[in-house]
Structure 1
């Protein structure tokens, strides 16, 4: 808990590049949503709106005036996303302004999340692009007032944020960003994830080409690369990351069944073992799907809550509507469905086939699919 007093500088715990601040009931809901969808964002809101899961979600609460908190946030973060009225924000940050080359990006959101306004450091600080990404995540309208908004290219550190993509490592963000801005030869390799990530209403810049595989991109010897995939690269593909960023789209769907009272630890162990066998990244898991008989299964609920995954349950009739390779009379006897993990993964993913049909391990049965877009 951060206590704000006039004579004392607040001690914040910065983990990400962006700070999200809210002081109202509706603002808190927006802040929590952004904290979940933006990989590199720390959330701050007033303690009177405490929900009980703040420690688990690394949310920092404060008491007292937000005006006393802003100076610490202003000097610590690359960008601030503030859900407070524009006039109030302008008054609070005006004494903090130093130089457009060093001031953080500041974006303001109205209390019902309709407008996302680029307020400070639009181009150099990235507030314009941040506004677009935040607006897309909230289905809101970005408000950008700079006259020469010309940087219509891929924002490397925000690429895919609106869809929940996360990057594997921040090591190459700066040099890859420089290559993009300087219009060098850029390869985008996309094997999975949302395809409609280009939102400028015009063709991609000529220096940026999209390839379906790492092998094809390597043949073109790009200056930098953005690689979007759920799988772990093999040794021969690693050169693409010498000046490249690896993004993990949320596409892995886990279909799962388990015996009653199976521990979260056993479920996690099976998931980790399965992903290692498939050479898939855990960061790309989107959802865990099962039968509605398991909607109150403590181990499953603990796992999805811990990892922030979607938890989706289907009725036996929904599961039985899907054709599967290995229907089971035994499973039908106990659940009313001829299969659980297989059809659950297929329904959610929209895939025609499974990456892993079905594996039984201890008390857990797991199937894996890749969500189609």
Structure 2
């Protein structure tokens, strides 16, 4: 299809991919077509005057008018935009569209000869740096990345643990903590839970970054900044570490759940929240709910896992009965064929030898809590 780009008019896109490739010159179109053929999950846009005749067959979109008019729609619909246009022109065109690094798409620029691939916008959170590396590898080009943590091969504070699903408690201190890391000030990493293999580089940690197993130990060294990885809520004494620190929530909490048929979402959610509050654990560190396969269609549980985007795993009675548990129940066996539901399910999923709560009954809900050991 041919898009006619006019001032003040929205552009309707026929979107198939996750990334958009845009070209406006003869050489750029040749390069863009080659990249489009080899880079999956992309849509290609170029000027109609360079039409080759196979665009409809290959789902390529042509446009007429100023490419600047196309960008608002691309920003809204695509995770990343690859532009074979001069860097200066791209900067001028995207400037009015920028909102927030948490929501802006990745923007990557390629020169007309395909010699350099440049990460321009949303390098970390938007994934432009990784996109730059992938495109450069396909084109046998030189990737250009200027993000300090990437260049120095140190911890990217805003992406720390993201590949494991870790989330920040607050983004307030991301910038000053990042500054401490790249300026090689003394930084403490305190890790109480979560995956241990977060250091990706084939060199030791910088001497300015030290790892501690407790917050108390780290506080005694008086670091300039801190990265704290834990599933639990900090005490008032420990909170001082966050004066220039970021708190990360690893996905390590597993909830074994049993309930009466028809138990409401609200009751299940309330029991979960009350139980985590009792343990002083963060809801943001919950990874999964697990139960017996009789509950795989339990509407209350399904609503909760959908709300929080948690994993939901169900086991057969035979699988649950293979697990040695502390509190077997003949009553539960009578109704389910298993001597327990919440306790063995939590043990199976987490792989933990001991549970934080073995089994607690509250109203229509039975809950067990485990923390995945790493």
TM-score by length of 2: 0.72
Match of 2:144 in 1: 146
For this pair of structures, how many residues does the alignment match? 306
Match of 1:111 in 2: none
Match of 2:276 in 1: 275
* C-alpha deviation, 1:120, in angstroms: 2.2
* C-alpha deviation, 1:81, in angstroms: 3.8
Partner Cα separation in structure 2 for residue 313 and residue 92 of structure 1: 53
Segments of 5+ residues of structure 2 without an aligned counterpart are: 20-41, 44-61, 109-115
Match of 1:113 in 2: none
1:16-95 equivalent positions in 2, closer than 5 A: 23-24=15-16, 27=18, 68=69, 70-71=71-72, 81-82=79-80, 86=82, 89-91=83-85, 95=89
* C-alpha deviation, 1:133, in angstroms: 6.6
Contact 2:192 2:214 in 1 (8 A): yes
Partner Cα separation in structure 1 for residue 79 and residue 308 of structure 2: 24
Partner Cα separation in structure 2 for residue 332 and residue 153 of structure 1: 53
Partner Cα separation in structure 2 for residue 9 and residue 100 of structure 1: 17
Distance 1:260 1:245, change over 3 A: same
Match of 1:229 in 2: 230
Match of 1:126 in 2: 123
Contact 2:358 2:368 in 1 (8 A): yes
* C-alpha deviation, 1:257, in angstroms: 0.3
Match of 1:202 in 2: 203
Partner Cα separation in structure 1 for residue 10 and residue 363 of structure 2: 49
Contact 2:251 2:286 in 1 (8 A): yes
* C-alpha deviation, 1:310, in angstroms: 0.4
Instruction: Summarize deviations over 1:24-43 as a string: whole Å, max 9, x none.
Output: 16x49xxxxxxxxxxxxxxx
Partner Cα separation in structure 1 for residue 284 and residue 135 of structure 2: 29
Contact 2:262 2:298 in 1 (8 A): yes
Match of 2:307 in 1: 306
Partner Cα separation in structure 1 for residue 230 and residue 14 of structure 2: 34
Contact 1:129 1:155 in 2 (8 A): no
Match of 2:8 in 1: 8
More moved, 65-74 vs 268-277 = 65-74
Contact 2:254 2:287 in 1 (8 A): yes
Partner Cα separation in structure 2 for residue 67 and residue 99 of structure 1: 6
Instruction: Summarize deviations over 1:255-281 as a string: whole Å, max 9, x none.
Output: 000000000011011011011000000
**Structure with bigger gyration radius:** 2
Contact 1:120 1:127 in 2 (8 A): no
Segments of 5+ residues of structure 1 without an aligned counterpart are: 12-20, 29-44, 47-63, 109-116
Partner Cα separation in structure 2 for residue 363 and residue 352 of structure 1: 27
Partner SS state of residue 287, structure 2: strand
Partner Cα separation in structure 2 for residue 344 and residue 159 of structure 1: 30
TM-score by length of 1: 0.72
* C-alpha deviation, 1:236, in angstroms: 1.1
Partner Cα separation in structure 2 for residue 328 and residue 363 of structure 1: 16
